[in-house]
A and B are shown apart, each in its own frame.
Chain A
Amino acid sequence: MSLEEPEPSTQLDVGVTDDGLDYDQIEALIDDYVIGRESHVNAEGFVVRPDDVQAVLSTLKTEAGFDFCSCVTAQEYQDRYESIYHLKKYDDPTQEVSVVVPSPRDDPHNQSGADVYETADWHEREAYDLVGIEYDDHPDLRRILLPETWQGHPLSLDYNQDKPQIVPLREHANPLQDDKRSPSDPDTMFVNIGPHHPATHGVLHIKTALDGEQIADLEPDIGYLHRCEEQMCQQGTYRHQIMPYPDRWDYISAGLLNEWAYARAAEDLADIDVPDYAQVIRTMGAEMSRIAAHMLAVSTFALDINGDFTATFMYGIRDREVVQNLLEDLTGQRLMFNYFRLGGVAWDLPEPREEYFEKVRDFVDGLPEKLTEYHDLLTNNEILQMRTVDTGVLPPEDAKSYGATGPVARGSGIDYDLRRDDPYGYYDELDWDVVTEDGCDNFSRLLVRMREVEESAKIIEQCVDLLEDWPEDEREIQANVPRTLRPDPDREIYRAVEGAKGELGIYIRSDGTDKPARFKIRSPCFSNLHTLPTMSEGEYIPDMIASLGSLDIVLGEVDR
Chain B
Amino acid sequence: MQSETPLPDTLANLLGLDPSNPLVLFVIAVVASGVIASGLLALVAVSGIWGKRKITAAFTDRIAVNRHGPAGILIIPADALRLLSKELIVPEGVDRPAWDLGPLIMVFSALAGFAVIPMGNGIQIADPETGLAYVFAMASVASLGLVMAGYSSNNKYSFLGGLRAVAQNLAYEIPLILTGMSVALFAGTLRLSEIVAAQSTALFSLGGLAIPSWYAFVNPFAFVLFMVANLAEVGRNPFDIPEAPTEIVAGWQTEYSSVYFVLAYLSEFIHIFLGGAIIATIFLGGPAGPVLPGIVWFLIKIVGIYLFTQWARSAIPRVRIDQLIEIGWKGLLVLAFANLLLTAGIVGVIA
Which positions in A face B, CB cutoff 8 Å?
Answer: 175, 189, 191, 197-199, 213, 302-311, 313-315, 318, 377, 381, 383-384, 386-387, 540-543, 545
Contact = CB atoms under 8 A, between A and B. Distances in A.
B321 A542 contact: yes
A548 to B, nearest CB: 10
Interface in B53-68: 56, 59-62
Given A191-B156, A540-B322, A305 B317 contact: yes
A309 B314 contact: yes
Given A314-B62, A315-B61, A213 B246 contact: no
Contact of A543 (B62, B240, B315, B320): B320
B198 interface: no
Q: Which label, helix, strand, loop or mixed, suits the secondary structure of the A interface?
A: helix
Interface in B236-262: 237-238, 240, 244-249
Interface string B133-161: 00000000000000000000000110010
B323 interface: yes
B244 A542 contact: yes
B93 to A, nearest CB: 9
B318 interface: yes
B315 A307 contact: no
13 contacts: A197-B249, A302-B317, A305-B246, A308-B246, A310-B313, A311-B314, A383-B319, A541-B160, A541-B247, A541-B248, A542-B318, A542-B320, A545-B246
Nearest to B313: A309
A199 B225 CA distance: 32
B60 A542 contact: no
Contacts, number: 86
Nearest to B248: A541
Given A306-B318, A308-B245, 20 more contacts: A191-B156, A199-B247, A302-B317, A303-B246, A306-B316, A307-B237, A308-B246, A309-B237, A310-B313, A311-B61, A314-B61, A314-B62, A383-B238, A383-B318, A384-B317, A387-B317, A540-B320, A541-B248, A542-B244, A542-B247
Contacts of A306: 237, 315-318
Contacts of A310: 313-315, 317
B246 A304 contact: yes
A309 B321 contact: no
Closest 6 CB pairs of A and B: A314-B60, A199-B246, A311-B314, A309-B313, A383-B317, A384-B317
Interface residues on B, range: 20 to 34
A541 B164 CA distance: 12
- Listed residue (A306, A377, A543) with the most chain B CB atoms within 10 angstroms of its CB: A306
B313 A307 contact: yes
Contacts of B317: 302, 305-307, 310, 381, 383-384, 387
Interface string B215-251: 0000000000000000000000110100011111100
- Listed residue (B60, B237, B313) with the most chain A CB atoms within 10 angstroms of its CB: B60
Contacts of B240: 307
A179 to B, nearest CB: 9
Contacts of B323: 386-387
Nearest to B316: A383
Contacts of B238: 383
Interface of B: 56, 59-62, 156-157, 160, 237-238, 240, 244-249, 310, 313-323
Nearest to A539: B320
B244 A318 contact: no
A254 to B, nearest CB: 23
Nearest to B250: A198
Contacts of A213: 160, 321-322
Contacts of A381: 316-317
Contacts of A302: 317
A65 B157 CA distance: 46
A492 to B, nearest CB: 43
A307 B318 contact: yes
Contacts of B321: 213, 540, 542
Contacts of B61: 311, 314-315, 318
A305 B314 contact: no
Contacts of A199: 246-247
Given A303-B246, A314-B61, A383-B238, A191 B314 contact: no
A308 B56 CA distance: 11
- Listed residue (B61, B245, B246) with the most chain A CB atoms within 10 angstroms of its CB: B246
- Listed residue (B244, B317, B320) with the most chain A CB atoms within 10 angstroms of its CB: B317
B156 A189 contact: yes
A308 B236 CA distance: 12
A310 B59 CA distance: 9
Contacts of B156: 175, 189, 191
- Listed residue (B59, B157, B315) with the most chain A CB atoms within 10 angstroms of its CB: B315
A387 to B, nearest CB: 6
B237 to A, nearest CB: 6
A333 to B, nearest CB: 24
Nearest to B154: A176
A253 to B, nearest CB: 20
B319 A198 contact: no
Nearest to B60: A314
Contacts of A304: 246
A307 B246 contact: yes
Nearest to A381: B317
Nearest to A302: B317
Contacts of A540: 320-322
Contacts of B310: 309
Contacts of B246: 198-199, 303-305, 307-308, 545
Nearest to A189: B156
A493 B245 CA distance: 45
Contacts of A386: 319-320, 323
- Listed residue (A303, A308, A381) with the most chain B CB atoms within 10 angstroms of its CB: A308
Contacts of A315: 60-61
A544 to B, nearest CB: 9
A377 B317 CA distance: 9
Contacts of B318: 305-307, 383, 387, 542
Contacts of A318: 61
